[in-house]
Amino acid sequence: MHVSTDILTWVAVVLTVGIFSFLWKDNPFYKFCEHLFVGISLGYFISLTWYNAVYPDLFRPLFVQPLSEVSLGNKLLFIIPLLLGLCYFCRFIPRVSWLVRFPMAFVLGWGAGVTIPAVLQTSIIRQMQGTFLTPGIFARWDVFLWAIISFVGVVCSVLYFFFSREHKGALKVASETGIVFLMVGFGASFGYTVMARMSLLIGRFQFLLRDWLGLIQ
Amino acid sequence: MKRTIPLAIVLTMGITMMVQFFVPHPVSVGYYDLTTRWIRIVGAFALVLGTGSFIMFHSDKVRRRRQGWYYSIISLVALVVTTVIGLGWGIRPGSILQNVIYANFLVPLNASMFAILAFYMASAAYRAFRARTKEAALLLIAAFIVMLGMVPIGASIWGKLPELAEWVLSVPNMAAKRAIIFGVALGGIATSLKVILGIERGWLGGGKQ
Amino acid sequence: MIPFLILLLAAGQTAPPETTAAVLAPPAPPVAVRAFDTPNDAGKSITLRWSAADTLARTWLIERTGPEGPKVIATSEPGETNYLDEEVKDRIRYTYRIAAVAGGDTVWSAPAAAVASTPQFFNTSRVNILIAMVIFFALVVYYIESAKKGKNLFVRRIAGLDAVEEAVGRATEMGKPIVYVPGLGSVADIATIASLNILGEVAKKVAQYDSALLVPNRDPIVYTVAREIVKESYTKAGRPDAFRQDSVFFVTSEQFAYAAAVDGLMVREKPATNFFLGMFWAESLVLAETGATTGAIQIAGTDSVFQLPFFITACDYTLIGEELYAASAYLSREPLLLGSLKGQDYGKMVILLTLVVGSALLLLSKVPALSFFSNILGFFSTR
Amino acid sequence: MKFFDALQRIDRRIIYIVMGLLVIFPLVKPLGLGVSSGPRARTLFDAVDSIPAGRTLLISVDFDPSSMPELYPMLAALMRHAFARDVKVLLCGLWVTGAGLADKAVTEIPPEYGKKYGDDVVYLGWKAGIDAVILGMGENIKNVFPTDYYGHPLDSLRMMNEVVRLRDIPMAVAISAGTPGYTDWLNFAQSRYGLRLGAGVTAVSAADAYPYLQTGQLTGLLAGMKGGAEYEVLVQKKDYSRAYMPAVAAMDSQSLAHVVIMLLVIVGNIAYFATRKRGA
């Protein structure tokens, strides 16, 4: 066992222990880590946003690059997002705070327009294509059985989300079958996620035991 | 003016972006690239809203000496220091921001929060994972199968367990996920359509009509 | 005999014969060489297709003849029988030919018919999406219109929603606040929009009962909207003076820093009720477990399938997937929301019907006489 | 029946401590429960094993420190496998936050096999733009990365004389925690340049990768810590490495943790039903 002498490792250890201490109870040490986390994360985000979006996409072409590289027309095109972005500042000026709606409208409208066909393509049409029963299922008994079960599962689970009728009679049977599938699906997700999170916890312990305490290799 | 122009912007952007999807012509591709870049820029400015609110919230707490106000100082100092380091020395690999702030502050904080989840899973498993109903029992059984099938110990209990776990994941689980996706997708499309047509106006803040 | 054959073959080709050292038979040139404008694209692209005539060829050479004269543009492996030339200009005619290469032999095919590349105005491979879009839009608009005309639209009871009123009342009795987390998504996410609608209803009840409300936010725009909505709800409930500026606030954009802060908030404020409605990722259980330890009633809802199991286990009531969307219609009884919910419901029925009928026909395509039904699947492929 | 009441109200901190100790214990003292490797890991292993000595394996480090426990063991095991067979390793990355991890691997692993930087291993670093980077590497790696991560011009690195573009590389493995990641390598490198591609992914995203295995677009897949452990075992079995196997050690903890969670559920349920029956 040889304890690390690297100051940065110690910082990481202190922060790790600070967060874990919340499991015991809320305490000043955790509050310190929590507030530090909040501040650093926002600062990190601001830096990334500046260097990954604002500077290369707006500031550099608009103010830094000479006209020989970016034509006047193109420069003028950058004025639009600049103005829209500046509208966000109006939120802090009560008289013109409604100007905030302009950039929001732009972002929302764009998002909605892009979403509709994209979702239809990936989540509806392509998923439907994958759900159809095809003659290929006759190849083997197990393939056939699983395909039928999957198909029934999809149909019944969709019926569970049918809100326009009271679930009575046949619809009740179908939606109850649907719930069975949904619950098995959630159980599977749970089991799967337990595995992933455990891996992360183990990773933290490996850090503490190896990088800090030097207890393992 | 305060409502009509935003609604007009939403309508124009929504419709042009939908049309764009079906048109492979270079003009349409160029329009997509241009607007995507604008969105990135405008989206970046939105951080102003958050940062403004953040500074006001915490400085207000400090000024009025609210409970735990000294912690707010930590948040504010952390924000200023990180931003200065980030903007001043850049974000490239090897920079102070990446090598010190990211690797030794953000990563352990983040990973520890993530790892705490494992403990919460344990307590949730003990406290709330009850086979109260037959649905809950099903959830439990499926979770057990997958949890055991995923680790070596499962295979040593029963050789077929990994296979069974994979079956649960690929047959009933897949069916349930698909059903949810259909519903969620239709909901998303309907909402987007309502936003474009100006029927959904919650985002304007204040009054649905 | 063999050299003679080679000479004969080579004579038929336009390439210079390089057959002097050949001992083995030279490869046959590729056949059925076709060049055509790549469909459904932005132009500047020509697709080549050919078939191998024998198995001798080791590589293919591709030659393009344009205004600058002939030029070998690519070498490709023998298994490949198509090539995408993306170095052409639009509206200029090019001819192509392809050679089979083996040993020292290079044998050229006859040139393919001249072709020019153009951009297209409509992507025909996306017709299916357009059709689906039209059907679904029609359904949604139809039901919204009939809702506007005052038609009574039924929505089945959703377990958990009745608990909302009770939860708000409980907070008042206990004199404790309500924490409302509108998810971690952006304002473009439907779960967030649904959550903001529900927030409006909850805030109205909170204003009526005179309880306290805390809304921590992760997205700056969601924060702005949430603030307006809560303010509006207080006004609608006739208590505009009771709205506190700092009850809706922004925390940070970082996922786990946000979770850490909300955890702290719940432990310190000991809320009577927690709402977790909207988009959630891995932090769902961090929030729900911490909330549970403080003894709050918890109502959760999300459309994120990976987080639902955690909410289902750790919370008292959970809105599953679409139930979250339905909830905002159910609570507000707003005709517009109800109408659109109907539209979605019948959209799902269209999908189910298509799946059942389509599957039946596809299975029938096993019968040789009905094999044309197998084309159905092709209709659902998109690019 | 007081026992069950007490059991029902057990302090959650006791659960946390039990859980924590049981996860730590096997890390310090491995139980040796054994890891058997599945077909997906073996496919990848065989593919890497068939790269001729002297050729190059490309590894794309597309993850950041937060998924390090799951993915870093894969990177280490792959590099050990390559070096043991005298295959050269070229590293690059699509994640800016992954640079430190690749750097760590390049400093720590090659010396174990007496391999030298520049001759047997090169780390190109990170460049902005995803498709542009991959497509550019397809044409000429030097155009995208004029220098490596450490600032050496590529011409000065002997290994880079033989590796000019993606076509000179027989196989690549993308270790990715999300997007950008192996899907970008599939879309831009695999389909265009016919690059043979294997992938390493986090456990949560493994299911998304299965379809690509079925279609043969991916040659082998390592999923999560278990995938890393399977690969470590394969590498050790052929005697390519005797290094500490972090993922294998972690699998003991993982097994134990899963068992603990299940026991907690069972005990919790017994207590619940015992107290309920009495109440009814």
Q: Does the CB of D261 have a partner CB in chain A at under 8 Å?
A: yes
Distance CA A127, CA C52 (A): 36
Is residue D34 in a domain?
no
- Say if CB B78 and CB A170 are below 8 A apart: no
Taking a contact as any Cβ pair under 8 Å apart, which residues of chain C between 238 and 277 contact chain A?
251-254, 256-258, 260-261, 263-264, 267-268
Cβ distance A194 to B169 less than 8 Å, yes or no, reads no
Please tell me the number of Cα atoms within 13 Å of C226 on its side-chain side. Answer: 37
Report cis status (omega within 30 of 0) of the bond before D180. yes
Nearest CA in chain A to B136: A183
Residues of chain A contacting C382 with CB distance shorter than 8 Å = 121, 125-126
CA distance to C8, C60, C108, per residue, from C22 (Å) = 14, 18, 16
Helix B107-127 with D12-28: angle, nearest 10 deg: 120
The dihedral over CA atoms of C348, C350, C355, C357, expressed in degrees to the nearest 10, equals 150
Encode C251-272 in three state secondary structure.
CCCCHHHHHHHHHHHHHHHCCC
Q: What is the DSSP letter of C183?
A: -
Distance CA C216, CA B176 (A): 32
Tell me the nearest-neighbour CA distance from B60 into chain A, angstroms: 15
Encode A114-143 in three state secondary structure.
HHHHHHHHHHHHHHHHHHCCCHHHHHCHHH
Of residues D64, D210, D268, nearest to B127 (C-beta):
D268
Over range C185-204, report the average pLDDT: 88
Of residues A31, A111, A138, nearest to C264 (C-beta):
A31
Asked if residue D238 and residue D104 are part of one domain, the reply reads yes
Residue bearing tokens 């265009």 = D192
The SS3 call for residue C182 is coil
Residue to test with chain B: of A27, A33, A76, A108, most B Cβ within 10 A: A108
Task: Please name the fold of domain C153-333.
Answer: Rossmann fold (3.40.50)
Handedness of CA B105, B110, B113, B116 (dihedral sign): negative
Cβ distance B177 to C305 less than 8 Å, yes or no, reads yes
How confident is the model at residue C8, as a pLDDT?
43
Handedness of CA C339, C344, C347, C348 (dihedral sign): negative
Query: Which residue type does C303 have?
Result: D
Whether complex ipTM tops 0.85: no
Tell me the nearest-neighbour CA distance from D105 into chain A, angstroms: 15
In total, chain A counts a number of residues equal to 217
How confident is the model at residue B53, as a pLDDT?
82
Q: SS3 breakdown of chain A: % helix, strand, coil, rounded to 5?
A: 85, 0, 15
pLDDT tens sequence across B114-166:
888 889 888 888 887 888 888 889 999 999 999 888 888 888 888 888 889 88
Instruction: List the one residue out of C327, C319, C272, C320 whose CA is nearest residue C299.
Output: C319
Backbone angles phi, psi at C317, to 5 degrees: -135, 140
- Say if CB C287 and CB C258 are below 8 A apart: no
Structure tokens that stand for C1 in this block = 């005999």
Over range C35-51, report the average pLDDT: 89
Residues of chain C contacting D194 with CB distance shorter than 8 Å = 77
Is residue D248 in a domain?
no
How confident is the model at residue A1, as a pLDDT?
66
Distance CA D45, CA D235 (A): 8
How confident is the model at residue C160, as a pLDDT?
76
Cβ distance C293 to D204 less than 8 Å, yes or no, reads no
Cβ distance A44 to B106 less than 8 Å, yes or no, reads yes
Instruction: List the one residue out of C214, C252, B114 whose CA is nearest residue A36.
Output: C252
List beta partners, residue D197: D172
Report the CATH number at residue D112: 3.40.50.10160
Tell me the nearest-neighbour CA distance from B12 into chain C, angstroms: 16
Cβ distance D194 to C77 less than 8 Å, yes or no, reads yes
The tally of domains found in chain D comes to 2
Asked if residue D269 and residue D138 are part of one domain, the reply reads no
Name the residue with higher pLDDT: C316 or C153: C316
Name the residue with higher pLDDT: C54 or C319: C319
Q: Please state the separation of Cα D17 from the chain's center in Å.
A: 29
Name the residue with higher pLDDT: B88 or D130: B88
Mention every residue, 6+ apart, whose C-beta is less than 8 A from residue A145.
Answer: none
Residue bearing tokens 């690239």 = B33
Distance CA C34, CA C40 (A): 18
- Say if CB C74 and CB C48 are below 8 A apart: no
Expressed as residue numbers, the domain containing D272 is 2-29+255-279
Structure tokens that stand for A141 in this block = 């008994």
- Say if CB D123 and CB D149 are below 8 A apart: yes
- Say if CB B14 and CB B192 are below 8 A apart: yes
- Say if CB A177 and CB A152 are below 8 A apart: yes
Asked if residue D51 and residue D22 are part of one domain, the reply reads no
Asked if residue D18 and residue D153 are part of one domain, the reply reads no
Asked if residue D120 and residue D66 are part of one domain, the reply reads yes
Residue C94 CB coordination number (10 Å): 18
Cβ distance D23 to A202 less than 8 Å, yes or no, reads yes
Q: Does the CB of B199 have a partner CB in chain A at under 8 Å?
A: no
Check pLDDT > 60 for residue B206.
no
Of residues A112, A133, A158, nearest to C363 (C-beta):
A133
CA distance to A90, A98, D62, D199, per residue, from D109 (Å) = 54, 58, 18, 20
How confident is the model at residue B208, as a pLDDT?
37
Using a pLDDT cut of 70, give the percent of chain B over it.
Answer: 98
Of residues C140, C144, C286, nearest to B120 (C-beta):
C286
Check pLDDT > 50 for residue C16.
no
Cβ distance C156 to A165 less than 8 Å, yes or no, reads yes
Is residue D249 in a domain?
no
Taking a contact as any Cβ pair under 8 Å apart, which residues of chain A between 6 and 65 contact chain B?
8-9, 11-13, 15-16, 19-20, 22-23, 31-54, 57-58
Q: Which residues of chain A have pLDDT under 50?
A: none
How confident is the model at residue B209, as a pLDDT?
33
- Say if CB D23 and CB D253 are below 8 A apart: yes
The SS3 call for residue D163 is coil
Residue C313 CB coordination number (10 Å): 26
CATH class of segment(s) C2-116: mainly beta
How confident is the model at residue B127, as a pLDDT?
81
Cβ distance C306 to D204 less than 8 Å, yes or no, reads yes
Distance CA D87, CA D53 (A): 5
Backbone angles phi, psi at D147, to 5 degrees: -130, 165
- Domain map (residue ranges) of chain B: 1-89, 90-128
Distance CA C375, CA C379 (A): 7
Q: Does the CB of A119 have a partner CB in chain B at under 8 Å?
A: yes
Q: Does the CB of B24 have a partner CB in chain A at under 8 Å?
A: no
Of residues A41, A116, A129, nearest to C254 (C-beta):
A41
Check pLDDT > 60 for residue C20.
no
Q: What subunits make at least 3 CB pairs under 8 angstroms with A?
A: B, C, D
- Domain map (residue ranges) of chain C: 2-116, 153-333
Residues of chain A contacting B116 with CB distance shorter than 8 Å = 19-20, 22-23
Cβ distance B186 to C347 less than 8 Å, yes or no, reads yes
pTM summary value: 0.82
Structure tokens that stand for D151 in this block = 């600032």
Residues of chain B contacting C262 with CB distance shorter than 8 Å = none
Distance CA A147, CA B205 (A): 47
Using a pLDDT cut of 70, give the percent of chain C over it.
Answer: 93
Q: What is the DSSP letter of C26?
A: P
Geometric angle at alpha carbon C370, from C368 and C371, rounded to 5°: 65
CA distance to A110, A112, B44, per residue, from A80 (Å) = 15, 20, 14
Check pLDDT > 60 for residue C2.
no
Cβ distance A203 to D70 less than 8 Å, yes or no, reads yes
Asked if residue D210 and residue D264 are part of one domain, the reply reads no
pLDDT category of residue B205 using cuts at 50, 70 and 90: low
Q: What is the DSSP letter of D188?
A: I
Asked if residue D179 and residue D112 are part of one domain, the reply reads yes
Pairs of residues, one from chain C and one from chain D, whose beta carbons lie less than 8 Å apart = 3
Q: Does the CB of A128 have a partner CB in chain C at under 8 Å?
A: yes
Nearest CA in chain B to C123: B22
Tell me the nearest-neighbour CA distance from A207 into chain D, angstroms: 9
Q: Does the CB of B189 have a partner CB in chain A at under 8 Å?
A: yes
Cβ distance B22 to C314 less than 8 Å, yes or no, reads no
The dihedral over CA atoms of B161, D78, D195, D66, expressed in degrees to the nearest 10, equals 80
Name the residue with higher pLDDT: D216 or B182: B182
Distance CA B143, CA B154 (A): 13
Asked if residue D24 and residue D63 are part of one domain, the reply reads no
Tell me the nearest-neighbour CA distance from B193 into chain D, angstroms: 28
Asked if residue D7 and residue D90 are part of one domain, the reply reads no
Mention every residue, 6+ apart, whose C-beta is less than 8 A from residue B183.
Answer: A158, A161, C321, C322, C344, C348
Cβ distance A186 to C309 less than 8 Å, yes or no, reads yes
Burial degree of A150 (CB within 10 A; 0-12, 13-18, 19+): buried
What sections of chain D are H helices per DSSP? 2-8, 12-28, 39-49, 68-84, 99-108, 131-139, 141-144, 182-185, 191-193, 206-214, 224-237, 246-279
DSSP output for D10-72: --HHHHHHHHHHHHHHHHHS------PPPHHHHHHHHHHHTSPTTSEEEEEEE--GGGHHHHH
Q: Does the CB of A149 have a partner CB in chain C at under 8 Å?
A: no
Mention every residue, 6+ apart, whose C-beta is less than 8 A from residue A35.
Answer: B71, B72, B74, B75, B78
- Say if CB B193 and CB C358 are below 8 A apart: no
pLDDT, one tens digit for every residue, chain D (280 residues): 678 777 777 888 898 998 899 889 888 887 777 787 788 899 999 999 999 999 999 999 999 877 888 899 999 999 999 999 999 999 998 887 788 889 889 988 999 999 999 999 999 988 766 777 888 888 889 888 888 888 889 999 999 998 988 888 999 999 998 878 888 898 778 767 778 999 999 887 787 787 788 777 889 999 888 899 999 999 999 888 888 888 888 888 888 899 999 999 898 888 888 887 765 4
Tell me the nearest-neighbour CA distance from A180 into chain B, angstroms: 6
How confident is the model at residue C357, as a pLDDT?
95
How confident is the model at residue D278, as a pLDDT?
63
Of residues B44, B68, B111, nearest to A200 (C-beta):
B111
Structure tokens that stand for C284 in this block = 């769902």
Radius of gyration of chain D (CA): 22
In the sheet that holds C178-181, the strands lie side by side as C248-250, C213-217, C178-181, C273-277, C297-302, C317-320
Nearest CA in chain B to A202: B115
How confident is the model at residue C23, as a pLDDT?
54
Nearest CA in chain B to C279: B184
Distance CA C374, CA C361 (A): 8
